[in-house]
Structure 1
Amino acid sequence: MNAAADDVVITGIGLVTPAGIGREATWEHVCAGRPTAARDPELAGLPVDFACRVPGFDAREQVGGRRPWQYDRYTQYALVAAREAVADAGLSPQSWEGDRVAVVLGSAAGGAGTFEEQHGRLTSRGPGMVSPLFLPMFLPNMAAGQLGIDLRARGPNLHTSTACASGATAIGTACGLLAQDACDIAVAGGSDAMVTRLCAAGFAKMGALSRSCDPQTASRPFDADRDGFVLAEGAGVLVLERAADARARGVHGHAVLAGYGASADAHQAVAPDPHGAGAELALRRALAAAHARPDEVDHVNAHGTGTPLNDSAEAATLLRVLGDRPSVTSVKGTTGHLMGAAGAVEAALTALTVARGAVPPTANLQRPLPGLDFVTGCRARPQQIGLALSNSFGFGGHNAVLAFRPVG
């Protein structure tokens, strides 16, 4: 199927994840199904002392410039991912029309690490020791603002915050800006760096984190023995363009962003609707936007956090709406839960799944939930995909589903 003139095409992908720095490093690690969770010295002494960190990240090397320390980690990750995505798209901030370039970036918490550090300075050393850069580093919108500065993008510049759906919401919002002719190029995605002592302690107190004795097997999406998610960090950024504009540049792209659906559970602050009514509404809206039927879905990149409530509700929704026809995977077994970046990273991986005809495994899946034998096991498998969905759900009942097709 050839892309229609008004289709939105993903022409660039940039990733910074616990599976690796860069698109190809992340893809290869995720397809290998190797978990990334490990004991974290910064979390020593907490009820849960392991997480999934970005490996070997050096801001001086990856971010560059004279003052990379002026950015919180979530902004550093966003900058690196965005630069890779723009280069992958064959674009350059030095030559594009910046007035027509939008930036939409999602984050659940913004500069959480900076907030904790500066609050510690305030309480232990007094207000005179609080950095004048505190607010520009901490405020959640500042990663989007810094991307606009770095990329010379003067179009709409937005921050989305829908908890763990933030990155997917940003991509859907960017698609809307293209449809409204508010921009010709949209740089969209999500970034978070919530592997901090306060965040880890808070999630542990809620009972959301896995308490496994072995970090490597702790993240177990859709497994009968799952007991929570593993906290992670990173960023995923996509470059979106109209299909006609991409073709005019001679660019094929990775996949077509065929549809976006959003909804709210209107149920409970931190627990999903057990019947998945809100998730189903978002899924059906994404299919409607893609002009597709449920029986056309070949693959689902599930939210699949590994928490008892989320996985049960999502599984019930998938079975009710799609049956057991599509393959289903959750990459969180490998990457952990990247919070506000998860939806963007998983959207990128879904686009690569469509483009490359390979479904990543669900690491650590040993005993699937009843009726979920179609969830991809611990090995990647080849599959030609005509339509794929990427699910993202967040605290507060936020739901976002993105639909992808091959470019053709």
Structure 2
Amino acid sequence: MTLNRVVVTGYGVTSPIGNTPEEFWNSLYDGRIGIGPITKFDTSDIPVHNAGEVKDFPFDKYFVRKDKNRMDMYSIYAIYATLEALENAGLDMETENRDRVGVIVSSGIGGLQEMQEQIIRMHEKGIRRIQPMFIPKALSNMAAGNIALKIGAQGVCKSITTACASSNDAIGEAFREIKFGFHDVILAGGSESTINEIGIGGFNALTALSTTEDPKRAAIPFDKDRNGFVMGEGAGVLVLESLEHAQNRGATILAEVVGYGSNCDAYHQTTPTPDGSGAAKAIRLAIQEAGIQASDVDYVNAHGTSTQANEKGESQAIVTVFGKDVPVSSTKSFTGHLLGAAGAVEAIATIEAIRHSFIPMTAGTKELSDDIEANVIFGQGQEADLQYAISNTFGFGGHNSVLAFKRWEE
């Protein structure tokens, strides 16, 4: 069986640090974080006051007001990122075999704003007053479904829900679909919109969120003073194609996807294995599929949530596989944690780092915790010749998902 090489030919993004790949990368390069005071609701009753909100979202570019009546914002973010990705890739759906174009776009939670609003409505006005579009707006698969409907993609269409590993798994499964010849093109990624009372309040009840008042010091992965993650929102969607398909249409190739590792800690509902052994196994699976050695990896975009349990284990996993020299950074320090969309947005950051030969710093971090042995880049970014890089995402439930990318060359 002939296996296809899989390449990335475009992406779209909406995030706390930019609504185009150029804005997004420039923020990472220049050290501009997107974390600030929450504006979407009154936080005076809880100790969490910062988040990574999408700013200046260009709603009017693709949407009209009535679209909000049939789609939650997480779906709107996902469609926006998809249409931007298609434009970035120069992919014309009118000339594609629609049966060979798929959509795998994930969400960790789905339409949480709609869930909140309709449950309140039911409680206050009665069960018969629930809006008819509640279920279609709330379901976590509807971003993928709405994308397929919008662009006319008739191949595989699904959403993989593995908490914060969701969109890495989406990209990984899309990679395999194309690698093994089932599809020519897949739009893959994730979307999330959970900065609301129930989203912030729920994670606050878990004591998982940062209570630091200073936005510049709220998301500080691997820092000795880290005390929880900062919620983010947005979407990232990548255009994945077989190399043959991309070359036949004369596409500009941005990077190659070369490996994917996925497994489960089977340890605890929310806490990863303390020694990072599950994460280490997933990393090894990704580089094994890539056909490379650990020493070939030049950069690790870490899951790096700014929580104690996650980062101690992840640092240990990285050191176990790579030793203490490979450069590591967490771009969640810029965006906050986008939950199910994190992997897609961080995949874009990883590819852009490869393309620009530059490792973004871990913003806000000033002094590493004593339990962190990994080579975390902070203070300022670092020029580097990057051939291979990996991007880690780990989720509640013990889900581990790792992608391996390669600089494009014939």
TM tier relative to shorter chain:
over 0.9
1:64 corresponds in structure 2 to 63
Deviations along 1:337-360, one digit per CA (max 9) or x if unpaired, are 000000111011111111221111
**1:297-312 correspondence runs (5 A):** 297-312=297-312
Aligned to 1:235, what secondary structure does the other structure show? Answer: strand
1:43–1:301 distance in 2 versus 1, CA, 3 Å: farther
1:355 corresponds in structure 2 to 355
Shift of 1:43: 4.1
1:6–1:390 distance in 2 versus 1, CA, 3 Å: same
Amino acid at match of 2:340: G
CA distance in 2, matches of 1:372, 1:32: 26
8 Å CA contact retained: 1:228, 1:308: yes
8 Å CA contact retained: 2:50, 2:218: no
Name the stretch that deviates more: 294-303 or 351-360: 351-360
1:344 corresponds in structure 2 to 344
Shift of 1:121: 0.7
8 Å CA contact retained: 2:255, 2:351: yes
**1:253-332 correspondence runs (5 A):** 253-332=253-332
2:22 corresponds in structure 1 to 24
2:399 corresponds in structure 1 to 398
Shift of 1:34: 2.2
8 Å CA contact retained: 1:63, 1:76: no
> For the aligned residues, what is the CA RMSD?
1.5
1:84 corresponds in structure 2 to 84
Deviations along 1:311-360, one digit per CA (max 9) or x if unpaired, are 11101111111012221110011100000000111011111111221111
Name the stretch that deviates more: 25-34 or 275-284: 25-34
Amino acid at match of 1:199: G
8 Å CA contact retained: 1:161, 1:340: yes
Shift of 1:65: 4.1
Name the stretch that deviates more: 26-35 or 160-169: 26-35
8 Å CA contact retained: 1:5, 1:244: no
8 Å CA contact retained: 2:185, 2:239: yes
Aligned to 1:261, what secondary structure does the other structure show? Answer: strand
8 Å CA contact retained: 2:3, 2:181: no
Shift of 1:67: 2.3
**1:184-199 correspondence runs (5 A):** 184-199=184-199
8 Å CA contact retained: 1:78, 1:237: yes
Which TM-score applies when normalising by structure 1? 0.96
CA distance in 1, matches of 2:283, 2:183: 26
2:34 corresponds in structure 1 to 36
Amino acid at match of 2:66: R
CA distance in 1, matches of 2:335, 2:50: 13
CA distance in 1, matches of 2:269, 2:3: 41
CA distance in 1, matches of 2:100, 2:30: 39
CA distance in 1, matches of 2:215, 2:251: 42
Aligned to 2:54, what secondary structure does the other structure show? Answer: coil
Deviations along 1:245-300, one digit per CA (max 9) or x if unpaired, are 21222223111001000010000000010011110110000011000111111100
Aligned to 1:21, what secondary structure does the other structure show? Answer: coil
Shift of 1:71: 1.1
Shift of 1:373: 6.8
Aligned to 2:394, what secondary structure does the other structure show? Answer: strand
Aligned to 1:298, what secondary structure does the other structure show? Answer: strand
Aligned to 2:104, what secondary structure does the other structure show? Answer: strand
Which TM-score applies when normalising by structure 2? 0.96
1:113–1:249 distance in 2 versus 1, CA, 3 Å: same
1:13 corresponds in structure 2 to 11
Shift of 1:5: 7.5
Aligned to 2:84, what secondary structure does the other structure show? Answer: helix
Shift of 1:95: 2.6
1:66–1:209 distance in 2 versus 1, CA, 3 Å: closer
Name the stretch that deviates more: 265-274 or 174-183: 174-183
8 Å CA contact retained: 2:351, 2:405: yes
Shift of 1:127: 2.7
> What 5-or-longer segments of structure 1 have no aligned partner?
none
CA distance in 2, matches of 1:186, 1:244: 14
CA distance in 2, matches of 1:30, 1:151: 30
1:185–1:337 distance in 2 versus 1, CA, 3 Å: same
Amino acid at match of 1:88: N
Aligned to 1:278, what secondary structure does the other structure show? Answer: helix
Amino acid at match of 2:36: A
Amino acid at match of 2:315: A
8 Å CA contact retained: 1:301, 1:330: yes
CA distance in 1, matches of 2:141, 2:9: 24
- The count of residues paired between Structure 1 and Structure 2 equals 404
Shift of 1:182: 1.9
8 Å CA contact retained: 2:14, 2:234: yes
> What 5-or-longer segments of structure 2 have no aligned partner?
none
- Aligned-pair identity (%): 38
Shift of 1:62: 3.7
2:389 corresponds in structure 1 to 388
Shift of 1:366: 0.3
8 Å CA contact retained: 1:33, 1:378: no
